[in-house]
Homo-oligomer: A and B are copies of this chain.
Amino acid sequence: MQNVNHLEQLDRLSGLLATVSRDAAGTIRRVSVALLDVDPVGARAVLAEVKDRAATHRQIDELVPLTLVRQQPVASDLRLVLAGLRMNTELHRMDVLAGHIAKLVVARHPAQVVPPPVRPLIGAMAETTVRIADKSALCLATRDRIDALQLGLDDDELDVQYQRLFGILTDAWPYGVQAAIDVAMLGRYYERFADHAVNVARRVAYLVGGDLTRGVI
């Protein structure tokens, strides 16, 4: 009976993490659509869903010490629980960053945050970030270590896009300082969101016994 409960609690933790991870991927997709469509209603919906999800993040936080005390897990189960605590922090930060993008859309409306010359690049950064978030959520659901490795390549692509963005902003930019700062911050939000998603996937790799944890603090 003790063993059955043990599995149930760990399964619950894994299930909740897989859910918030899939939801975070959906959120970054929706906020990117709201950003490029200049849609404050969509942006406000994102802020609401992020706010709602904070309750699930707290639930995961509370499940961790409970599981440790009740089950005293060791070996791979203990690693799962500890990684879960930290993945939860990363997933929460992803929500906060998506919320920053949504707030920019709302604050600048009816003006657009993304002027025409950087629209294709911001669109590409959003696509790369959504792809990273989708793969990271899949890693959590399937515990597939290979996907975790491939994610590093997607993240390199995003870094290149981020650098190109600064090139455009600092070379004869005609939209003023405010727009430049907004776009630079947008770029940073996407880049940080993706970093967290990659970290989540790396923690999955750690769970399945890889040595990809180096540098992931």
Nearest B residue to A95, CB-CB: B217
Question: Chain A 57-85 against B: per-residue CB contact (8 Å), 1 yes, 0 no?
Answer: 11001001100110010100011001001
Whether, in the assembled complex, A180 has its beta carbon less than 8 Å from a beta carbon of chain B, the answer is yes
A188 to B185, CA, bound (A): 9
Looking at chain A's contact residues, the main secondary structure is helix
Nearest B residue to A213, CB-CB: B61
Nearest B residue to A62, CB-CB: B213
Report copies per complex. 2
Interface bracket on A: 20 to 34
A85-B88 contact in complex given A72-B72, A185-B188, C-beta closer than 8 Å = no
CB proximity to B under 8 Å, residues A87-123 = 88-89, 92
Whether, in the assembled complex, A163 has its beta carbon less than 8 Å from a beta carbon of chain B, the answer is no
CB proximity to B under 8 Å, residues A176-196 = 176-178, 180-181, 184-185, 188
Q: Give 8 pairs: A residue, B residue, CB < 8 Å, sorted on A.
A: A58-B214, A86-B86, A89-B89, A92-B217, A169-B181, A177-B177, A181-B184, A188-B188
Chain A residues within 8 Å of B, Cβ to Cβ? 54, 57-58, 61, 64-65, 68-69, 72, 74, 78-79, 82, 85-86, 88-89, 92, 166, 169-170, 173, 176-178, 180-181, 184-185, 188, 214-215, 217
